[in-house]
């Protein structure tokens, strides 16, 4: 079989460092503004201004506003999925019997770590903005396609793992309890100020590591109660 003449194909020019930096700045600016104002409230003009870029650069790098929104959601979803699946695979490879606490930790803690809610103090503020974005996508049916593509495959793997721990329980009940757990994670990520406001002594019990541990325990207990009823 004759090999194709690869030399006849036009070469794509590699993106310059400046171009890549502009693309990243646009993604970061869009993430912050979409999280703050919602999809409809964040204009392409405002995103370009926040990124320090020309308006034409937004469409050049990321296409339409809707395509940009999808890329913003997808960017961190891909990384989160990798981290969560790696954590689950490590559990499975350990040889220890899986527990609900361990499975939920594998799903919840990668995001908490990225957002600095694990006590390390090394979180990226952009990840906190991302939590508001995910909450928005999850609550608006027009973004169902994005949720199904970016989040559902990994969620399905964890739901299947939980189903093995609760044989005989309907998948729909596990899915409900799982969504409640995800909602609790997003609430912690976006509403820590409410904890401070409602505390009798502001600052008490709001250490990031403790909050992360409490969240996993809360989700485990709630899921057990929901699946036992």
- Domain of 35, CATH number, reads 1.10.10.60
Residues in the chain: 229
Q: What's the predicted TM-score (pTM) here?
A: 0.84
pLDDT of residue 198: 82
Whether 48 maps to a domain, the answer reads yes
Residue whose structure tokens are 């390390």:
120
Most confident of 5-19, 68-82, 113-127: 68-82
Place of tokens 């503020």: 125
Phi, psi angles (nearest 5°) of residue 75: -55, -55
SS3 95: coil
Domain total of the chain: 2
Q: Are residues 39 and 94 in the same domain?
A: no
Cβ partners under 8 Å of residue 28, min gap 6: 51, 126
pLDDT of 204: 47
Tell me: do 221 and 126 sit in the same domain. yes
DSSP string, 19-40: HHHHHHHHHHHHHHHHHHHHHH
Instruction: Report pLDDT digits (tens) over 197-212.
Output: 887 655 544 576 788 8
Structural domain range at position 224: 74-228
Instruction: State the DSSP code for 206.
Output: -
The predicted pLDDT at position 124 comes to 76
Q: Would you tell me how many other CB atoms lie within 10 Å of the CB of residue 160?
A: 11
Do the Cβ atoms of 87 and 56 come closer than 8 Å? Answer: no
Task: Assess whether 46 and 139 both reside in one domain.
Answer: no
């Amino acid at each position: 079989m004759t090999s194709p003449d690869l030399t006849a194909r036009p070469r794509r020019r590699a993106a310059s460092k400046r171009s890549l930096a502009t693309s990243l700045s646009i993604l970061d600016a869009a993430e912050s503004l979409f999280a703050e104002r919602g999809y409809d409230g964040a204009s392409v003009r405002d995103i370009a201004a926040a990124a320090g870029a020309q308006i034409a650069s937004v469409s050049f790098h990321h296409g339409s506003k809707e395509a940009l929104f999808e890329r913003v959601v997808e960017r961190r979803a891909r990384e989160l999925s990798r981290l969560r699946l790696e954590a689950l695979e490590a559990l499975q490879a350990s040889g220890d019997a899986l527990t609900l606490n361990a499975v939920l930790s594998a799903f919840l803690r990668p995001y908490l770590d990225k957002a600095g809610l694990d006590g390390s103090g090394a979180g990226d503020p952009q990840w906190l903005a991302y939590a508001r974005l995910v909450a928005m996508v999850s609550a608006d049916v027009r973004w169902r396609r994005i949720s199904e593509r970016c989040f559902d495959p990994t969620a399905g793997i964890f739901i299947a793992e939980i189903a093995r721990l609760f044989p005989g329980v309907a998948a729909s009940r596990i899915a409900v309890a799982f969504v409640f757990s995800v909602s609790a994670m997003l609430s912690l990520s976006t509403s820590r100020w409410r904890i401070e406001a409602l505390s009798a002594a502001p600052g008490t019990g709001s250490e990031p590591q403790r909050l992360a541990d409490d969240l996993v325990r809360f989700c485990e207990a709630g899921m057990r109660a929901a699946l036992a009823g």
